Chain A
Amino acid sequence: MQSVENSFRIDPSFKYEVSAQSGGETLRQCFQCGKCEATCPIERFKNQYRPAQVIRAVMLGLREFALDSPTIWLCATCYSCSERCPQGVHFTDIMRVLRNMAVEQGKINPYYKKVAEAIVQYGKTFDSPDFINEMRGDLGLPPVTSLDRQEIAKIIDEVKTLKSKENQSKKVI
């Protein structure tokens, strides 16, 4: 929560939350050397995107700063930061955890929303392969493999059910 004084209030619980998610475990090792930022190809071309700054926000507990920020959707998942980090912080995975957490709060970049919805609906990133199969046929390729979308719908549904059960039990506690 930002106070009128333009300084941030910190929420110490945020770092534990992020660290508890699968992929977020290495968060605490960061010793602020800045090598991830120096390596990041996105930051190189867009100075506002700063991986080390995001990690700092999580460690200190600037919840909104981290989750509201449009920059978490700019990550190209190139893994360069995770590769170079001298302390083994898997930054790319932490970024993914932050994205997941933002989505849970209803914040999602429209492009990612579009693609994910398509995948969940069609089981692939694209619908009706008819014209694609035509193209492929011209090249002498077999049609795109078939897929029973029902199966995908079923398992996605199962995940939803599982999650709502977990949220319920969390609320009880």
Chain B
Amino acid sequence: MTEKPRIGVYICHCGLNIAATVDAKAVAEFAKTLPDVVVSKDYKYTCSDPGQEMIKKDVKEQKLNRVIVAACSPRMHEPTYRKLMEQAGLNPYLFEMVNIREQSSWVHMKEPAKATQKAKELVSMAVARSRLLEPLEVKEVPALKSVLVIGGGIAGIQSALDLAEQDYKVCLVERQPTIGGHMAQLDKTFPTMDCSICIFAPKMVDVAKNPNVTLLTNSEVQEVSGVAGNFHVKVLKKARFVNEKKCVGCGVCASKCPVKTPNEFDMNLGMRKAVYIPFPQGVPAIYTIDKEHCLYFTKGVCKLCEKFCEAKAIDYEQKDQIVELDVGAVIVATGFEPFDPSTLKEFQYGKYKNVVTSLDFERLISAFGPQEGKLLRPSDGKEPHRIAFIQCVGSRDERTGNIYCSNICCMSAIKQAVLIKEKHPEYEVYIFYNDIRAFGKGFEEFYQRARDLWVTFVKGIPAELTEDPETKNLTVRVVDLVLGKMVEVDLDMVILSIGMIPPKGIADLTRILRIPRGADGFLLETHPKLRPVDTPTMGVFLAGACQGPKDIPASVAQAKAAASGVASLLSKGKIRTESSIAVVNEDFCSGCRVCVSLCKYDAIKMEEKKGKQVASVSEITCMGCGVCASACPTKSISLRHFTDQQILAQIRALAPEASNCTGKTEPIKIQEEA
């Protein structure tokens, strides 16, 4: 930069967030004393409209060519101020943000004098660096108007539909042979008591029929590389041994198949064949052969399905395929896994046949479940006249490690209780609860309805279950805390309201997409209040239970939000790339490849240039992390906007004696205020 720097420094009060600890005025005064600082002001809310106008005005009137704002974290408002720079006619990379909120005021709340001193030092570092800042070209790259949606449950399907409507090309990848997820397993949904599959099936069919949607079922995402606007995806399409183009879903194969095996969709309470479709309304209506139980694959015999298939769709030789595609964005909607209560041995799940989970119960009462909608208990198929629900099984529990509340179990139990009572008012139904969380729209009214129907709510979680060895009836021992008495309740059936846990394979997904998980194991959003469907990786969004336990309305809302997020990102057809990227000086590069091995974004490739192999950085893929620049043994890679000179200038501004390379190690003194 040949122009002399004319720096404007703005110290923000951020209301009291900064000003309560840091003396903003004093910092502004101090900044004025630094060379090249033309304007130095403190202001209450710099990011506000008048604040921004003030800066714009100063840039024009004082001919500023550098702007420094000392305020909150750059992660909050750097984009805001960079936009402001453009509006003021300056290159956005001539802006420097200093964090004196999270990094001074908030962490040193009890030491205002030291915090102010630290703020001064941080500002002087910024001033030193800003002198060396260079304008960087803001580039845009074409962004693909296509999306990968991982997970074919209600959330994934909703996102897919919303995006397909806007003419985005959607690839919906689902691990199971059909889409549907857990919503398809439910009988009714609360609080409307809609039949789940009745409201869901049309969506499933819509998404399959939509010309903008490609369904890849029985498939799993293996690899995602690239960056927002241009992701390259590899999907493993597992062989289903049935030709998808030929199968018409007539089901003759299944009717002839001699092998019966527990049906996972029915929570292993009903059976399916080795060639199967998980449930009758499954989309796509294409059969799949389960290699592990099929007689042909295990023993080399049978082949009845092939014999009877009129469409000649059976293909035992079908191989796994890798499908590669390019997309502009990714939505993760992989849902949840139900908690397995076998580890909580006091509930005897797995030992006592008449103890079932809430999801087991959904299948038992489902019209297309193993009992065709009749409420009969597992041990003897008799009608259970006395039924109890035990809440919070596996959730809110230090012993299982799932200390969170699973959101849906209170309403789910009430729903199931209401269902039972409406069909059989003479049955006794109990809900043993810790709290009743009926927080959503229509939920409290639904809770009332349950009490109107004489569902008995007992505040107290049972501890012991015993079984009569002959009748298989159960007795539950619980203390009613309101009454203050221990009671024993004889029952025919007990339903454990189990919680949600993160879905299987979530750890692999976090690696493939480079997104984090929270302490509870679910995928972590960027900000729980304001950005609930974003991830720190640009272009990757979350929707539904994979982000945390939630019900259908919340999942749908998130799905729509994620779709909207994708559209915001891709609708212009181009995306701004990161300008602060690594750049290779080809003359110095020795071709050692250290940078290639270190780059976790796969952004560096070796190319033949000027007769030698040199490193070359992809402008699109480089995320500007700087690892290559710091590792390069010949210093041929520099990181734009974070050059060695800029960083050294900051260090010298902070501690002149430390960067003199005299070999002396003197402690860095913090200047005390007089």
Contacts and interface: CB of A to CB of B under 8 A. Distances in A.
Taking the complex as a whole, does A directly touch B, i.e. does some CB pair lie under 8 Å apart?
yes
Interface of A: 31-35, 37-39, 43-44, 47, 50, 52-53, 84-88
Contacts, number: 62
B396 to A, nearest CB: 6
Contacts of B167: none
Q: Identify the interface centre among B460, B478, B486: most chain A CB within 10 Å of its CB.
A: B486
A84 B347 CA distance: 12
B127 to A, nearest CB: 49
Contacts of B435: 31
Contacts of A53: 484
Contacts of B460: 33-34, 37-38
Nearest to A87: B398
Interface in B443-500: 459-464, 477-481, 484-486
A38 B486 CA distance: 7
Contacts of B9: none
B486 A43 contact: yes
Given A31-B434, A33-B460, A53-B484, A38 B396 contact: no
B397 interface: yes
Given A33-B434, A52-B479, A86 B398 contact: yes
B110 interface: no
Given A84-B346, A86-B399, A34 B477 contact: no
B392 interface: yes
Nearest to B393: A86
25 contacts: A31-B396, A31-B434, A31-B435, A32-B459, A32-B481, A33-B434, A33-B460, A34-B461, A34-B481, A35-B462, A37-B479, A38-B460, A38-B461, A38-B463, A38-B477, A38-B486, A39-B346, A43-B479, A47-B485, A50-B484, A53-B484, A86-B397, A86-B398, A86-B461, A87-B396
B197 to A, nearest CB: 34
B461 A35 contact: yes
Given A33-B460, A35-B462, A38-B460, 7 more contacts: A37-B481, A38-B486, A39-B464, A43-B486, A86-B396, A86-B397, A87-B396
Contacts of B461: 33-35, 38, 86
Nearest to B398: A88
A32 B463 CA distance: 14
Interface in B160-194: none
A34 B291 CA distance: 48
Contacts of A39: 346, 463-464
B464 A38 contact: yes
Contacts of A31: 396, 434-435
Given A39-B464, A47-B485, A34 B398 contact: no
Interface in B383-440: 392, 396-399, 434-435
A84 B485 contact: no
Given A38-B461, A38-B463, A38-B486, A44 B477 contact: yes
Nearest to B488: A44
Nearest to B391: A33
Interface in B270-299: none
Highest count of chain B CB atoms <10 Å: which of A32, A35, A50, A88:
A35
A37 B464 CA distance: 11
A84 B478 CA distance: 13
A85 B397 CA distance: 8
Given A43-B486, A44-B486, A53-B484, A34 B479 contact: yes
Interface in B332-381: 346
A44 B397 CA distance: 24
A156 B541 CA distance: 66
A31 B481 CA distance: 12
Sorted nearest first, the 5 A-B pairs with minimum C-beta distance are A38-B463, A34-B460, A37-B479, A39-B463, A86-B397
A153 to B, nearest CB: 43
B459 A34 contact: yes
A33 B486 contact: no
Contacts of B397: 86-87
A84 B396 contact: no
B405 to A, nearest CB: 11
A85 B461 CA distance: 10
B479 A86 contact: no
Contacts of B464: 38-39
A38 B398 contact: no
B460 to A, nearest CB: 4
Contacts of B484: 50, 53
Contact of B463 (A35, A50, A87, A88): A35
A35 B390 CA distance: 11
Contacts of A85: 398
Contact of B478 (A38, A47, A86, A88): A38
A60 to B, nearest CB: 14
B486 A37 contact: yes
Given A35-B461, A86-B392, A47 B398 contact: no
B479 A84 contact: no
Contacts of B459: 32, 34
Nearest to B458: A34
B475 to A, nearest CB: 12
Contacts of A84: 346, 463
Nearest to B485: A47
Contacts of A44: 477, 486
Contacts of B398: 85-88
A52 B486 contact: no
A38 B485 CA distance: 9
Contacts of A34: 434, 459-461, 478-481
Contacts of A32: 434, 459, 481
A30 B484 CA distance: 17
Most buried by B among A37, A44, A88: A37
Given A31-B434, A53-B484, A86-B392, A38 B399 contact: no
Nearest to A41: B464
A14 B302 CA distance: 75
B339 to A, nearest CB: 13
A88 B403 CA distance: 11
A34 B476 CA distance: 14
Residue among B399, B463, B464, B481 having the largest count of chain A Cβ atoms under 10 Å? B463
Given A43-B486, A50-B484, A38 B392 contact: no
Interface-central residue, B462, B480, B484, by most chain A CB under 10 Å: B484
Nearest to B394: A86
Contact of A47 (B392, B396, B486): B486
